[in-house]
Structure 1
């Protein structure tokens, strides 16, 4: 039988970045709702810096604001909204940003829930990524486990030599891993590299190494196999909220101009931090790292059947074991009772339904196993301190009423 062909792809897969394209899409959704005229000006800082310019050719700017553009905005009295977290003038400007600390926590909690007890995180010299990595490590440490950290250059693909050094650094980092291990990786491209390096060593993904990578660039996450679990940040919401914030700033500026005697407000510039929409679970984390075969089977059964009205007795019956015996083994291995695991899985599925679908709360409650809408409401309020509707509103793009 002939061997399958092996095909190399030399493609610049980093552009266009989802975080740029989707932020733009969000601004345009708001612009369409408000009837704005949108002007794409990738050199706004240069155009506004022209000495002959006495007034701005537009009413506001949303962008990755650098120091030059900030200075132009101040000189011309032009409202600016920044969407670049690493901007050198971030503290001086209104801005809308993703909550990468929440993303790091989501990653850590997911890998911990899979029974993993060893962890590693690959980050890069970027403020958002470092924040996610620091939170990931803190959550793992709080749970009583160690976490190995490695850093990549900001642009590891800058040259072949830079990429070689990055690959060598990752290889040396992996030499110290003890399997099984849960790994958080800053980008999908780096995640794909780690998968390939695992295969070179004969390690299974996810059997030996569970990986969460990047911010859900779907093409890179879903192909090739195994598909990669990833965080969906919801960048379109960032663009939408940035446009909404700019609208408010332009309204305020107009009011100030109409009331010439009123001094401009000196409040700190508003910052909006938006939580991720959720974790997209794919093949790279689809396993449970437990040595006890009975407990592993119980975890898989719960995951596959939590939408049904199952309880501890149902799980024990499926495994042909006494409920009390299973409860004891379950606590010994994963350190929480079966009922807590059933509830946790249902909550995670409800979160995904709330952020990724338009189904009603009653439909979601039935679909994930809570049965009644009120039961879903009670569990969310008790476990998360927030109602299901509030959770959905925080993570979904909602038009202004």
Structure 2
């Protein structure tokens, strides 16, 4: 019988991101009977727990939040994998969500929706926010677009950093509200994470700014509870956090076997954008495209045809298709299928409806055809997609 491996999991218990990492580690451990995991059930990891100094630990997976914590952990002389992403434990491998891929997803989404004004709302001075901000600016500037980045006064920025570290996440500062009020409208905003996205939504509501017609927001982390509590509900980029947890566990296991794993930053691409109400809008400047898009959004899942849409907006099919291709880079029929696919994804994620019922809710009379369509577009059958989402 192999010797047990005692693994300290120094990942905070709060937040969807950290819970997902823990889930990935747990999934890996289920296949490795010699792993005994000791979690750290606190909201924040700021110093080395006393029990870790006294106990026998073979390896550590953790959020290494400060250089001092990194030094304390390194002094234990055991293999470490850092899943916080900042790199505060220089001799250890680091895992993080790829900021370039996050920015690319958001940029492509907003450009395809027809936006011409863009902004980034983050926490200046926080490493993951700065990385995502820089990537978002690069990607949009490559398309000839300027990004309005939230840059509060230095004193306010220091307060923001303190608030973030203390996890007073639902507060927002007056400087954020002032920035939002001055932005050109309509505008597409990438928030550095879901907490910031929720703060932006709250500030817009307090200011009387219409959402999503004037301000459209995408967050990052896809913390399902937080996103669904927002009004409007928050569209978010889903990182592969369970994959990060599994990769971290596999790295640590190889290090415990004596393998040399390079102490470099490993970046994992996010999974996809989970669309909710905060981006439920088309911003094309053409009035026919706007009118048709509203009809599609309201009735695509209720059996309306392309010809019926053309009648309602008093336009020929060829003209409307050309306008959609010009402004949205896709024809009318493809936009209808996109709306129906997103509806199917949401129902598979958020409900226990049978596949046949999901098909009907998306406007398909045949469950068989819906399954073929869904597999072609999403890369997995509806049943497999639901199972994969439930494991994340």
TM-score over 0.5 (shorter chain): yes
Alignment of 1:378-393 (within 5 A): none
Alignment of 1:1-400 (within 5 A): 16-35=14-33, 36-40=35-39, 45=48, 57-65=56-64, 78-90=78-90, 92-124=91-123, 125-151=125-151, 152=157, 153-156=160-163, 167-250=173-256, 252-253=257-258, 265=260, 268-269=262-263, 271-303=265-297, 313=307, 315-317=309-311, 319-334=313-328, 336-338=330-332, 341=335, 371=369
Cα drift, residue 63 of structure 1:
1.1
Q: How many residues align?
A: 357
**Structure-2 separation of matches of 1:231 and 1:138:** 18
Cα drift, residue 83 of structure 1:
0.5
1:178 to 1:77, Cα distance in 2 relative to 1, 3 A = closer
Q: Is the 8 A contact 1:237 1:396 kept in 2?
A: no
User: Residues 344-388 of structure 1: CA distance to partner in whole angstroms, max 9, x if unpaired?
Assistant: 6577678879999999xxx999979895888877778xxxxxx66
Q: Is the 8 A contact 1:85 1:97 kept in 2?
A: yes
User: Residues 50-74 of structure 1: CA distance to partner in whole angstroms, max 9, x if unpaired?
Assistant: 6xx8xx8122211123656766776
- Partner of 2:163: helix, strand, or coil? coil
Name the larger-Rg structure. 1
**Structure-1 separation of matches of 2:192 and 2:227:** 13
Superposition TM-score, scaled by structure 1 size: 0.69
Superposition TM-score, scaled by structure 2 size: 0.71
**Structure-2 separation of matches of 1:94 and 1:354:** 36
1:230 to 1:356, Cα distance in 2 relative to 1, 3 A = same
Cα drift, residue 87 of structure 1:
2.7
224-233 vs 315-324, greater mean Cα deviation: 315-324
Could you tell me which runs of 5 or more consecutive residues in structure 2 were left unpaired when the two chains were aligned: 1-11, 152-156
Q: What RMSD in Å do the two structures reach over aligned CA positions?
A: 4.5
**Structure-2 separation of matches of 1:59 and 1:241:** 18
**Structure-2 separation of matches of 1:48 and 1:221:** 35
1:105 to 1:199, Cα distance in 2 relative to 1, 3 A = same
Q: Is the 8 A contact 2:128 2:192 kept in 1?
A: no
Q: Partner of 1:7 in structure 2?
A: none
Cα drift, residue 200 of structure 1:
4.0
1:345 to 1:275, Cα distance in 2 relative to 1, 3 A = farther
Could you tell me which runs of 5 or more consecutive residues in structure 1 were left unpaired when the two chains were aligned: 1-13, 254-263, 381-386
- Partner of 1:23: helix, strand, or coil? helix
**Structure-2 separation of matches of 1:240 and 1:356:** 24
